[in-house]
Structure 1
């Protein structure tokens, strides 16, 4: 029974985490390459994922979480209620709500003090992302995000450059996101994987990714498509690069897991405000409404996550 719960938990967590979080890193990549066949995009992302996973497994003696799970032990006995969190996350993902998978999945196995550390790091990440994106886009929006400048991207020489730049920035961002979120996917499995467990889990994850790519991101993708110019290859490249740099610097500051969802929403929010302030002042009100809507969604996700943790704690007392 325990083995069944362990592998069921992994399957649910893998599908829910990838379905909910993958759009944070690959959403703009999918939008701006909507004419490219999904198998090419999936193959590219799959190679990066495989390399990142195998590298972590090799460097950290079988620990694919890059030591993010060092302070989160796998219980000696898994109970049915451990599946509540990934199952709830799966349902929420299907509804298109960008919930924080870090809070939802890891909190079930964490102490209250560690949960507080994860929340604090994530909230700071959101604030840093908003401020950084706003300040940077104040400097570059008129040059790189105006209608006239974006039309120049369609010139053959510039388009080739930005195609290469986007795929490189996506590879960098995707690897940094994976380092953060492998912990959410693998929390149900042993902290040290055998070679067969590694390869088996890799096949499962790549299969789930194929489904996500074939459906062009699903519901969560709508949050990306609604933002200004996100379908443009240059805009998508810049977003990916900034997001990757923040995850690389702030996310790796320590081994405490953080919500990449909050960081992603923060970048989109700061960017949206700056672009509309400089270029589309008539749309500032609608921009604030859209950002407030996104923030309300992630806050709802956090509230649901905390509620589920308390529900599980209540069940454990019986």
Structure 2
């Protein structure tokens, strides 16, 4: 009798899984069809460098910005949800155009502010300009689209740049700088919100004044500009290291239009990662988050030209903020313990999802570059 019941239970669970699968497929069928088509197209295009270069760039431009939108414009979108999407787009898009134009002009055609000019320990370019492409290099942005759809805040720096790295040392430098920045952001977030969370809980009530609105727009604009200086390398990795005028116009137009789509979709599903955090919809709290984040990026911008995962900085900052916020809450002892446990669970989830992206990026890098793979294997011998 027990065996029969177990079989019935297992059969019921199996049917539930089947139904869930079909429900997901029904809900996401358009996205699944589009990504399948993009993978197929990547397989057809990658042997043709000139075409593959622009195809990979277009995919990287949208996938990188849409995944990383939660870091820079996520709080901006959340706290300005009542405003017209095209107003937000024109503001953020305008800052993008100014930032990349200045970089392109003063750096003689380099829109990455020197990030793709970084060298490894042997003085060799860490991410040289590719003359030909592997399938996984072109398909990497499609993987990023899928992970973004699954609401995973993966590092676009790891996922996109790693497949172009010439040595494990180049990737190790990026990882080291990113992990260091994670702990810096976590510690700073914890200290800041331990200090101000009770103040914000007491005084950040009701409708924000116009001064806060102005402050948030200025802060978000500065953060967005600094983020571009850090992460433009992730999407320009497919293109020549110096762009001529026509190439620059193409680069700028693609990203600008992609931003429009992101604002039209209000950040899409990955925006939930920001929305689930405490008080981010309050424009005053969002302003403080953006200000602290911008300070960290500005500091790291001048430390070295080695690319860095801004995703890890962001989840570190939000993690430290959330923990500090919940430690300082005025609630009963049992409730506080529960709230702190929830904060640690949220921190662990975000860090785990980001780690998945790191693992996938290393797998892609070792699959694309045989020399990279051999050097990785030598480390374990």
TM-score using structure 1 length: 0.94
Does residue 149 in structure 1 map to residue 203 in structure 2?
Answer: yes
Aligned partner of 1:29 among 67, 71, 76:
76
Unaligned runs of 5+ residues in structure 1 are: none
Partners of 1:45 and 1:171 within 8 A in 2: yes
Aligned to 1:59: 106
Q: Which stretch of structure 1 is more off in the superposition, 241-250 or 196-205?
A: 196-205
**In 2: Cα distance, 1:315 partner to 1:256 partner:** 21
**In 1: Cα distance, 2:372 partner to 2:113 partner:** 30
SS at the partner of 1:191? Answer: coil
SS at the partner of 1:220? Answer: helix
Equivalenced residue count is 311
Does residue 98 in structure 1 map to residue 165 in structure 2?
Answer: no
How far the C-alpha of 1:314 sits from its partner, in A, is: 5.0
Unaligned runs of 5+ residues in structure 2 are: 1-47, 118-124, 374-381
Tell me which structure has the larger Cα radius of gyration. Answer: 2
Aligned partner of 2:211 among 148, 154, 161:
161
Aligned to 1:42: 89
Distance of aligned partners of 1:112 and 1:306 in 2 relative to their CA distance in 1, 3 Å threshold: same
SS at the partner of 1:69? Answer: helix
Partners of 1:5 and 1:80 within 8 A in 2: no
Aligned to 1:212: 262
Larger relative contact order (Cα-Cα within 8 Å, sequence gap ≥ 6): 1
Partners of 1:31 and 1:230 within 8 A in 2: yes
Does residue 189 in structure 1 map to residue 239 in structure 2?
Answer: yes
Aligned to 2:137: 82
How far the C-alpha of 1:250 sits from its partner, in A, is: 1.9
SS at the partner of 2:73? Answer: helix
Does residue 124 in structure 1 map to residue 176 in structure 2?
Answer: no
Q: Could you list the structure 1 runs, at least 4 aligned residues long, displaced by more than 3 angstroms after superposition.
A: 314-317
Partners of 2:68 and 2:311 within 8 A in 1: yes
**Deviations 1:81-139 (CA, angstroms, capped at 9, x unpaired):** 42132222122122221110101111111121110000000000000000011011111
Matches within 5 A, 1:258-269: 258-269=308-319
**In 1: Cα distance, 2:367 partner to 2:131 partner:** 21
Q: Which stretch of structure 1 is more off in the superposition, 287-296 or 37-46?
A: 287-296
**Deviations 1:156-186 (CA, angstroms, capped at 9, x unpaired):** xx51110000001001100110001100010
CA RMSD across the alignment: 1.5
Aligned to 2:304: 254
How far the C-alpha of 1:315 sits from its partner, in A, is: 11
